[in-house]
Amino acid sequence: MAHLLGASTSSKKRRAGEEGDVSEAAAAAAGEEDRISALPDELRRSILTRLTFKDAIRTGALARGWRDLWKTRWPHRASVEVRISSPDDSRRELDALAHEPRPRRRLDRFSLVIDNCMLKSPELWGFTDYAAECRVEDLHVEYLHKEARRSTLKGKFNFPRCSPLLARLSLSRIGVIGSMYYKGARPFRFRALEVIRLHSVDITREGFKNLMAQCPSLLTLDLRGCDCGSLFFQLPYESKRDSLVMPPKLRNVTVADCRGFAVVPVPSLRSFCFRGDFTMPPMSSLSLPEDATLADLYIQFAHSAAELYKTKMLSNFLCLPKDSMFSPSVAMSSSYKHMVGGSTDEVKEDLPEGDLANLLMVKVMNFNWRRSEVQLVSFLLRKASSLRKLLIVSPNVTPPDLPYVEADLLLLKEALANGKIILSESDDITTQPYHSKVFIMD
Amino acid sequence: MEVDKGKGEAEETRKVAEADRDTVTLKSSDGKLFEVSKEAAARLSTVLAGMIAGGSIDDNGTDLKQIGSEALENVVDYCNKHANSIPSAALISSSISFNTAPFKEPEEWERKFVDRLSHDALFDLVEAANFLGMERLLDVTCHKISEMMKGKSPDQIREVFNIKNDYTKEELEEIRQELAWAFYDD
């Protein structure tokens, strides 16, 4: 316990009886003060080293004084990229890493880029084991040579050892993810893993199932250019024991330019981004669970030959199961190139009432005033009773003289007049917060 | 005018002299005197250890002009508690370079010790610990501050610490895009 011996007799300004007032006033004033930014960089770095890599990165968004601080949070180099162009490179790098002192340094990020050469599994494991010993939080493995796809690591890409702190796993053109199990692997091995990003990776159903079963914390699944096979497809004859169980907290799913079936049986889903052919799975068989509270939906149609009858599919999709809490925000980027002709009644035909009651925000990009597009907008205006804003990005801000259904066009013009619809030529700052960059390839 | 608690100077001097053997007297920026075990002070603070070894300790109260009385009271309190309840092994392991080793988690009493502090008192204590070269106390206080940041969005962190966002909208968007995966769930 501290011993208060009394005030000194030196010439202090403080007067007896004033202490309470002074400290209270100071506390009130200090309450508005930014004490943490005022700490020396060295102390702030030390604080950042106690955060996960992800949380540390996020501090870069606090204020200018924080922007790059996380990058130097460790006194050593904590982001390492190894590039291998030949078997000699591989041996040399592995040898160098093996001679680093133990216990290993902490690594925020380890990136292995294999450029136009092959790597045997034990060599690959040499690198991933090293990263695991460094308790890496962001691991990236990439083959640059396109030929590597499908051939090099078929069925072999797995992790004998895994960093307990791994938060993000990014794999690019590594071939096939077969079984992620390795001898003696425990369930929930990727305990901290929140983000999986697979780029041009072929995924077997078994491998995917195992991976999902080992990632209890997964929040984000990002699949681009992958061959999914029947990845999320629930086979009717499957027993419950064999069926795919998605991680309970999975919130964001992106499926872009993938082949194969991909149904998303994810009750926790909050955000779904899709780019590809609307007529193909997963769109044609997308089953969102009845209790999904989807906050964002982004659909970008590819060059596909979407015929008009598919509009009905879109309508059905947008209508979703009854009572589903749907969507503060939907963004669509459409080409609709082939959606001409046919009966305009077709959209209306199957629409149940009131199912879009929770839709707050829609953004339609590449709007070209085609009849089906006007029809879609009209449909949204009629059905989405809570809709606050409908952003339309279109090269033409005035409708061309085409034979629209009068009622559709009237509705659209009315919404334009009262400000519900915002029509814009470019995807500028007013519309950008909504999805505009989700498909940037990083 | 200067006398705070009504104690006479003579009495103070006598007390200090009595305690001289195994304690050190520290004087805060606002002139209050605190007594702390010399052994604990030397063990926990590199700066105090240096002063004790170098003989620059003032029996009438060593001036610590950078440290206010509340923070100094907490420092002294911490030292005395530490002297009573921590086996020295914990200290040794905490001084392993944190380049590689995980931080030693704060002990239960250390956690309670910082939990009861107000926001400002916590930061005063971090600064005092930094000034005095108290590695273990820095560990404990920095750990507490990091706990206040964990799992929070930048907005929430700004609110907790009164950080002013001086980014433009465009800059912020650029930062978020640079490492989008870390910002997915905002």
Q: Quick one: pLDDT at residue B110?
A: 92
Domains of chain B and any CATH numbers: 9-150 (3.30.710.10)
Residue of B nearest to A167 (CA): B182
The tokens describing A108, both together, are: 């925020």
- Residues from chain B contacting residue A109 (CB–CB below 8 Å): none
Percent of chain A, pLDDT > 70? 57
Interatomic CA distance for residues A149 and A276, integer angstroms: 21
Q: What is the DSSP string of A19-85?
A: HHHHHHHHHHHHTTS-HHHHS-HHHHHHHHTTS-HHHHHHGGGT-GGGTTGGGG-SSS--EEEEEE-
Is the pLDDT at A351 greater than 90? The verdict is no
Nearest to A47 by CA among A56, A34, A57: A56
Set of chain B residues whose Cβ sits within 8 Å of the Cβ of A21: none
- The Cα A364–Cα A356 span in angstroms is 16
CA dist A82 and A117 (Å) reads: 14
What own/partner pairs with CB < 8 Å and gap ≥ 24 does A344-348 have? A344/A371, A344/A375, A344/A405, A344/A408, A346/A308, A346/A309, A346/A311, A346/A312, A347/A311, A347/A312, A347/A315, A347/A372, A347/A375, A347/A376, A347/A379, A348/A379
Residue A277: what pLDDT? 57
More confident residue, A127 or A275: A127
Contact across the interface for A64 and B70, Cβ inside 8 Å:
no
Touching B: A residues 207-236, CB under 8 Å:
219-220
Partner-chain residue, chosen from A1, A4, A52, that has the shortest CB–CB distance to B80: A1
d(CA A114, CA A84): 5
End-to-end CA separation in angstroms for chain A = 56
Mean pLDDT along residues B66-92: 78
Residues A1-49 pLDDT 10s:
444 443 333 333 333 333 444 444 444 444 579 999 999 999 999 999 9
Tell me how far apart the alpha carbons of residues A292 and A263 are, in angstroms, rounded to a whole number.
14
Cβ pair B5:A32 closer than 8 A = no
The answer to whether A268 and A251 are in contact (CB under 8 A) is yes
Please report residues of A whose CB lies closer than 8 A to that of B149.
47, 51, 55, 59
Q: Does A35 touch chain B (CB under 8 A)?
A: yes
Q: Annotate A330-346 with b (16+ C-beta within 10 A) or e (fewer).
A: bbbbbbbeebeeeebee
Highest mean pLDDT among A8-12, A87-91, B11-15: A87-91
Q: Euclidean distance between the first and final Cα of chain B, in Å?
A: 55
pLDDT value at A163 more than 50: yes
Residues of B with Cβ-Cβ distance to A9 under 8 angstroms: 2-3, 9
Above 80 in pLDDT, residue A286?
A: no
**Residues B9, A39: C-beta atoms closer than 8 Å:** no
Name the residue of chain A whose CA is nearest to B119's CA: A31
- Taking CA–CA distances from A27, the nearest residue in chain B reads B120
Give residue A196's pLDDT.
Answer: 93
Q: What pLDDT, on a 0 to 100 scale, did the predictor assign at position A349?
A: 33
**Using CB atoms, which residue from A31, A57, A62 is nearest to B157?**
A62
What's the rounded Cα separation, in Å, for the pair A57 and A34?
A: 20
Question: Tell me, what's the ipTM?
Answer: 0.83
Q: Which two tokens stand for residue A71?
A: 């990058």
Q: Do B179 and A46 touch (CB under 8 A)?
A: no
Task: Give the pLDDT score at B155.
Answer: 95
Res A144: pLDDT: 84
Asked whether the predicted pLDDT for residue A71 surpasses 90, the reply is yes
pLDDT-based confidence at residue A359 (cuts at 50, 70, 90): low
Choose among B27, B77, B100: nearest Cβ to A8. B27
Asked if B73 has any chain A CB less than 8 Å from its own CB, the reply is: yes
Which of A78-82, A363-367, A396-400, B80-84 has the lowest average pLDDT?
Answer: A363-367
CB atoms within 10 A of CB B76: 23
pTM score? 0.75
Contacts of A43 in chain B (CB under 8 A): 126, 130, 138, 142
Cβ-based contacts of A46 with chain B (< 8 Å): 98, 138, 142
State the pLDDT confidence band at A420, using cuts at 50, 70 and 90.
confident
> What is the tens place of the pLDDT at every residue in B99-133?
334 567 788 899 999 999 999 999 999 999 999 99
Distance CA A298, CA A305 (A): 19
Phi, psi of B28 (to 5 degrees): -75, 170
What's the pLDDT tens digit per position in A220-261?
Answer: 999 888 877 655 544 445 555 566 778 888 888 888 877 765
In whole angstroms, give the CA distance from residue A121 to residue B4: 75
Tokens of A22: 């002074």
Q: What residues 151-170 of chain A have any CB closer than 8 A to a CB of chain B?
A: 168
Tell me the per-residue pLDDT of B16-66, one tens digit each, with 9 for 90 and over. 444 455 889 999 999 999 999 988 999 999 999 999 888 888 878 888 888
Using an 8 Å Cβ cutoff, are A369 and A393 in contact?
A: no
Q: Structure tokens of A236?
A: 């009717």
A43 to B138: CB separation less than 8 angstroms, yes or no: yes
Of A22-31, A129-138, A239-248, A364-373, minimum mean pLDDT range: A22-31
Residue A12 main-chain phi, psi, to 5 deg:
-90, 150
Domain residue ranges of chain A, discontinuous segments joined by +: 39-75, 78-265, 270-277+292-304+354-441
Distance, CA of A58 to chain centre: 15
| CATH, range A78-265 | 3.80.10
Residue partners of A225: CB distance under 8 A and separation at least 6 = A199, A200, A256, A257, A258
Model confidence pLDDT, tens digit, residues B127-168: 999 999 999 999 999 999 999 999 999 999 999 999 999 999
Q: Which residue of B99, B131, B132 is the best one to mutate when testing the A interface, meaning the one whose CB has the most A CBs within 10 A?
A: B99
Cβ distance A6 to B1 less than 8 Å, yes or no, reads: no
Q: Answer yes or no: are the C-beta atoms of A260 and A229 closer than 8 Å.
A: yes
- Flag if A195 and B184 touch (Cβ within 8 Å): yes
